Structure 1
Amino acid sequence: MQKFKKIFQNTAFVKLFFANITSQLGSIIGLTAFTFYLLDRFSEQPMYATLTELMFSLPTLFLFFLVGVVADRLDRQKVAYYCDVIAALLSIILLGAIYIGWMPLVFAVLFTRSGFQKFFFPAEQGLIQGTLSKEDYGTAAGLNQMIGSMFNLFGTGLGVLVYWGIGVYGAVIIDAISFILSGILIKMGTYSKKAKSPNGEHSLRELNLKFVLTDFKDGLLYILRHKLLMVLIGGFVVLGVVNGGLTVMPIFILKYKLAPSSYEEFAIIFGIVIGAGMLIGSVMAANIVQKMKFYHLIVFGLVLGGSSVIFSSVVTTVWLFFSIMFVLALGIPFINVAIGGWLPAIIDPKMMGRVQGWISPLMMLAHSVTLGFIAIMYPTYMSIEMLYWIVGAMLLFVGMFYFIVLPRISEQKENQDSTLSTSV
């Protein structure tokens, strides 16, 4: 408690903390409400709900090479502030697009707004890094994880309640207000020059695209030269597939199979079930990560998750489906904690940023490809059960692959490190 009290005495951090919450709140409420609006209005065209998720994720694939550079080279406070201001303006434009009812315009606005939002988080995190002392980083990360878990628990339910209470237009207005509040909080903060512009002052015109692409190429070559690292990053790709599928598949199975007349109410409970499972799983994984090999945790999480996804496809009651999804949610944090703890131990600190710069777009590519696959195949060519079988089989296959490959590669890596240490 003393650490939390200390960190909240830093007024600059407090403003950033609540700016992050309000910005996330705006994104979640609007996206959730709009998804349910589409499912109501275009009940026979579930593809529209999938496309909404794609508009949120696809910008990462187009902007991944710019996001980190912009946060490092330009004034971070201005970047975060203008991201919020532009997102608020686009939310107002979105109101008009929904009123007109022209879906290409609606999706174009969603895509553009999501693109600008991608620049907010790295800029905001850079400000936090420059605002806090090193011993406070862990406390700040714990707070952000806590907020993330709360959004997992209640985000979907809050979005549905807003949609029921004031409709899709009211939800988008809340979006705009949330972004405006976040922008005001960012603008009010006082930050050191080092926190805002750690690499000196630059203008947008000075950013060299060739230099940026060269850096990303170096990161890719580093990954390809390190077998263990390459295999582990493959795990993030699998998580991208799971995240992509789980954004729409549970809603579809509730609406079109298990609870057609009350799927919205059950969607709220589903969000709570998943959030609670991931929260409990995170605590369990954190407590045993020091006692087991990383690859044991990864394989356990993949096999548990794959089995749960497959079994959930054949259930005939909502509560049994929720029970199995809770088990899936328990397993996912074991993968996250293990990979997240392993990567810093095997990556050269000089290359960490460039390697991380590849992880997010690879995950999002898998996420987007999965959503695109679902949009094309369901319900014309595949049943909802078949989608669950495919995602579950992928998790099981990768789990078995890791069970065979990771112990050997890990041992080779340890022997190499031991040899280098001895020679030095």
Structure 2
Amino acid sequence: MKALISNKVFRIVAFADLLQQSAIWIRNISLLFYVMEQTNGDPVAVSLLNVLEYTPIFLFSFIGGAFADRWNPKRTMITGDLLSAISIGVILLFVLAGSWQAVFAATVVSAIVSQFSQPSSAVMFKRHVPGELLAPAISISQGIMSLFIIVGPVVGTLIYSTLGLVYSLAAMIGLFLAAVLVQLTLPPSPRPPERRAVPILEDVKAGFRYIRGKRNLIVIAITFACIGLGSGLIQPLDIFIVTERLQLHKESVQWFHALSGAGMLVGGAAAAFLGQKLNPRVVIFVGIAFLSCSIIVEALSVWVYLTAAMRFSVGVMTAFMQIVLGAIMMKLVEEAYIGRVNGAITPLLMAGTLAGTAMAGPLMKTFTLVPVYGMSATIILIAAFASLSMKLGGNAANTERSAVHLD
């Protein structure tokens, strides 16, 4: 761990992540509360925030990953945060002029920019962090996000309730500009090997061909898609576990989210210390299988403490499993394809989640709560068995190295 902390690139990227997560959670909470106030709690307007956040992921993730492989990652990260700060400044002017609907644009711009800057962070890790330190680096990065699942809503609520929307937007501008200043201290990135100029869509297609030519990446893509679909089926129904099965007030759902976030924080820390010592194939299978079983337990449980314990445990296992998967991907993928592979595989999780979310309501009306949770558990269990198809180890590494380059 000392070697990782002494790595300058890791320290800078982690601190920039901390600033960015602070800005993102101020945005999430401030815009949510502000839109509810302006629309008298209109659920359509509130849900539109989520739609505007996730839609750009599908439209720009593939292209963003391809550009991340072409562009200088340091410059891309700095430009992304600078554009975020400028866009929020423009939106602030619209709000001061009385056009409150402009706040929706803040979510769109932030989502678009992140599809270019996030893959660039992965490229920086690949170039500057030694391979044996990638898993701890990813686990700490994941831990920062997990930490903000717990404290982000509290910080965002405090700032908005104390300062209001205008100063919340101003705080976001300051945080993004601070992230820019921090990232300016990153060392220059070595120039990648010159590649012949091709249209960007050809680069995207090359990324898909690269994934298709590597068995482990195909398995990871299928696993992500199944987990996304299964999780999406129950994500909107979470509130009904609290109100129908546990007979609690709907406001109590926040504490279960906090338990999940705390579990992810613990899981991230555990992965940093134990991830290199355990068989990754076993970790992934056990983690996904446990997630499947926990869904059944939550659906059947009428005991608050049992459900709470499952939420915490699922957070631990999910973070551990995601970090191990992320480390495997970083090791399997050549530097020239990091952005495109991230841009192709990660959205599959989101696509599955949104597809499951769209079906959740009608399925619950038709089959009730417990059967829908059973469907979710079954789909995720399929992902667990699919993950066993990964071939990790010396033979797999030789197979991956012998794959044909497709550029």
Q: TM-score range by the shorter chain?
A: 0.7 to 0.9
Verify the 8 A CA contact 1:149 1:279 in the aligned structure 2: yes
After superposition, the C-alpha distances for 1:390-415 in whole angstroms (9 at most, x for unaligned) are 32221123224445xx2xx6389937
Between the aligned partners of 2:118 and 2:124, the Cα distance in structure 1 is 10
Residue 352 of structure 1: CA displacement? 4.1
- Aligned residue for 1:89? 89
After superposition, the C-alpha distances for 1:271-306 in whole angstroms (9 at most, x for unaligned) are 331122223334445555555543322221111101
Q: Give ranges in structure 1 of 5+ residues lacking alignment.
A: 201-207
Give the count of matched residue pairs: 396
Identity %: 21
After superposition, the C-alpha distances for 1:145-172 in whole angstroms (9 at most, x for unaligned) are 4422321332234445556x44xx8267
TM-score by length of 2: 0.75
Q: Give ranges in structure 2 of 5+ residues lacking alignment.
A: 403-407
Verify the 8 A CA contact 2:293 2:377 in the aligned structure 1: yes
Matches within 5 A, 1:222-371: 222-241=210-229, 244=232, 248-251=236-239, 253-254=241-242, 258=246, 261=249, 263-264=250-251, 266-285=252-271, 289-290=275-276, 292-348=278-334, 350-371=336-357
- Aligned residue for 2:395? 414
Give yes or no for the alignment of 1:372 onto 2:370. no
Higher mean alpha-carbon deviation, 42-51 vs 333-342, is at 42-51
Amino acid at match of 1:225: G
After superposition, the C-alpha distances for 1:14-56 in whole angstroms (9 at most, x for unaligned) are 7765443232212123324555677899899766655433322
Between the aligned partners of 2:131 and 2:399, the Cα distance in structure 1 is 30
Verify the 8 A CA contact 1:305 1:395 in the aligned structure 2: yes
Give yes or no for the alignment of 1:56 onto 2:44. no
Matches within 5 A, 1:10-409: 17-32=14-29, 34-35=31-32, 49-71=46-68, 72-73=70-71, 75-76=75-76, 79-89=79-89, 92=92, 107=104, 110-123=107-120, 143-160=140-157, 165-166=161-162, 170=164, 173-187=167-181, 190-191=184-185, 194-195=188-189, 198=191, 211-241=199-229, 244=232, 248-251=236-239, 253-254=241-242, 258=246, 261=249, 263-264=250-251, 266-285=252-271, 289-290=275-276, 292-348=278-334, 350-374=336-360, 377=362, 383-403=368-388, 406=389
Between the aligned partners of 2:393 and 2:126, the Cα distance in structure 1 is 35
After superposition, the C-alpha distances for 1:344-389 in whole angstroms (9 at most, x for unaligned) are 4544555444323311222222233233334x63775564545433
Verify the 8 A CA contact 2:245 2:301 in the aligned structure 1: no
Residue 217 of structure 1: CA displacement? 1.1
Alpha carbons of structure 1 residues 188 and 30: separation in structure 2 relative to 1, 3 Å: closer
Amino acid at match of 2:398: D
CA RMSD for the aligned pairs?
4.6
TM-score by length of 1: 0.72
Equivalent position SS for 1:58: helix
Higher mean alpha-carbon deviation, 150-159 vs 302-311, is at 150-159
- Aligned residue for 2:405? none
